[in-house]
């Protein structure tokens, strides 16, 4: 891994991955390519932006010519592909953006890698980061394994499933050296306040209603984002070509239980009376096609690569809340501009 290209490195998970690689692989160059959509923010990387082995390129992976020129200029031997439209609610409102970035953007990257690596495919690696949502929705029992058939049910998960299929097709058809992972819900610092945990932290600070979809009975498996970055590091180095690794936190929470825990922690940290934040809980119209439960069997990545999560949920939530309370300027910046328009459209009608 001499020249590592990371896509979507200004986003939530991407910024933690970029930081991890820049700090750990000081002898490698790390190029972060990001369009800087509403979800991408260079403020996420101010602590490492001056490092000699780090370079940022603003660009759109949907633009095939741009992607080819990027490969031409930086000659990556390793691609870690995270750039995506990532929010399920936005995919319900506007599916086409997800087709463009998640499907076309991924195929552009695959084409560029295939072209540039055709003479020397050895020691190259195209790592595609995907989601557990491609497996569909579980009932009360069972876990997603790498063998679970795909059953995507939202435009977001359908676009990610499509991109996963293209990545595997390039392995089988052209022998492109690929590896994939499918991860559960991440949380932690720098997550855009449209996703459950940062949205609710933001609303609790502002004493705004906490919009719980349906009855709050949906279950997600939560993983601290820095643990995901460590798993990505293990998989890109030692994952078997052509294979997929499921990554999860062994940490299932029913939404309403998680929200109550968050309310309790925030009341303590904000010095508010117990129960203050719970009083903000408001049940609203359910998300269309809302998947009931996701849960990951992460035994393959543990058995083959020795990866297990290291941050407990209590510790991770506490660190996350502390980060948002200490970074009110970050929160203010990302919630100015288009955010209020999005918020009105997403929640006022519910």
For ligand NAD, the binding residues (CB under 6 A) are 8, 10-14, 34-37, 39-40, 60-62, 82-86, 101, 105, 129, 131, 160, 183, 185-186, 192
If the CB atoms of residues 185 and 244 are measured against ligand NAD, the closer one turns out to be 185
Up-side HSE of residue 52: CA atoms within 13 Å toward CB?
3
* SS3 annotation, 296-340: ECCHHHHHHHCCCCCCCHHHHHHHHHHHHHHCHHHHHHHCCCCHH
Tell me how far, at minimum, the Cβ of 221 lies from ligand DAU, in Å: 7
255 binds, among ligand DAU, ligand NAD, none (CB under 5 to 8 A by kind): ligand DAU
Q: 34, 132, 146, 233: which is the annotated catalytic residue?
A: 132
Known active-site residue 286: no
Asked if residue 300 binds ligand DAU (CB under 6 A), the reply is no
Determine contact, residues 36/43, Cβ cutoff 8 Å.
Answer: no
* Positions in 16-45 near ligand DAU (CB under 6 A): none
Q: Which helix (H) or strand (E) holds 129?
A: strand 125-131
Which of 32, 44, 246, 255 touches ligand DAU (CB under 6 A)? 255
Asked if residue 195 binds ligand DAU (CB under 6 A), the reply is yes
Own/partner pairs for 271-275, CB < 8 Å, 24+ apart?
A: none
Cα dist from 84 to 12, 120, 160, whole Å: 11, 28, 9
* Positions in 134-193 near ligand DAU (CB under 6 A): 184-185
- Residue whose structure tokens are 């929470």: 253
Which of 133, 226, 227, 233 touches ligand DAU (CB under 6 A)? 133
Known active-site residue 141: no
Cα-based torsion angle of the residue sequence 19, 24, 25, 29 in order, rounded to the nearest 10 degrees: 20
Residue nearest ligand DAU, CB atom distance: 131
- Residue whose structure tokens are 């986003």: 11
The residues that touch ligand DAU, with contacts defined as CB under 6 A, are 86-88, 131-133, 184-185, 195-196, 199, 211-213, 218, 220, 255, 287, 294
- Please list the active-site residues: 132-133, 156
């Amino acid at each position: 891994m001499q020249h590592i290209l990371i896509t979507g490195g200004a986003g939530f998970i991407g910024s933690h991955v970029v930081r991890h690689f820049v700090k750990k692989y000081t002898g490698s160059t790390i190029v972060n390519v990001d369009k800087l959509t509403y979800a991408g923010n260079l403020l996420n990387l101010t602590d490492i932006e001056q490092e000699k082995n780090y370079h940022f390129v603003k660009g759109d992976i949907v633009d095939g010519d741009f992607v080819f020129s990027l490969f031409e200029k930086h000659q990556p031997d390793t691609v870690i592909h995270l750039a995506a439209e990532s929010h399920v609610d936005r995919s319900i409102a506007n599916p086409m953006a997800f087709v463009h970035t998640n499907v076309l953007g991924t195929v552009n990257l695959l084409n560029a890698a295939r072209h540039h690596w055709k003479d020397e495919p050895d020691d190259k690696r195209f790592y595609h980061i995907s989601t557990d949502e491609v497996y569909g929705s579980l009932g009360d029992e069972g876990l997603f394994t790498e063998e679970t058939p795909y059953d995507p049910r939202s435009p977001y998960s359908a676009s990610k499933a499509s991109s996963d299929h293209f990545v595997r097709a390039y392995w089988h058809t052209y022998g492109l050296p690929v590896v994939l992972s499918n991860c559960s819900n991440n949380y932690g610092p720098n997550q855009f306040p449209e996703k459950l945990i940062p949205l609710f932290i933001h609303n609790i600070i502002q004493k705004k209603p906490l919009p719980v979809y349906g009855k709050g009975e949906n279950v997600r498996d939560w993983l601290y984002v820095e643990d995901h970055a460590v798993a990505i590091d293990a998989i890109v180095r030692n994952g078997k070509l052509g294979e997929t690794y499921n990554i999860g936190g062994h940490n299932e929470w029913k939404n309403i239980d998680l929200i109550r825990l968050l309310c309790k922690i925030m009341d303590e940290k904000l010095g508010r009376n117990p129960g203050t934040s719970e009083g903000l809980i408001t049940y609203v119209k359910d998300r269309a096609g809302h998947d009931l439960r996701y849960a990951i069997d992460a035994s393959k990545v543990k058995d083959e690569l020795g990866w297990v999560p290291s941050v407990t949920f209590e510790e991770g939530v506490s660190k996350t809340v502390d980060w948002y309370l200490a970074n009110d300027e970050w929160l203010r910046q990302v919630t100015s501009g288009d955010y209020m328009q999005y918020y009105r459209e997403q929640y006022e009608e519910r």
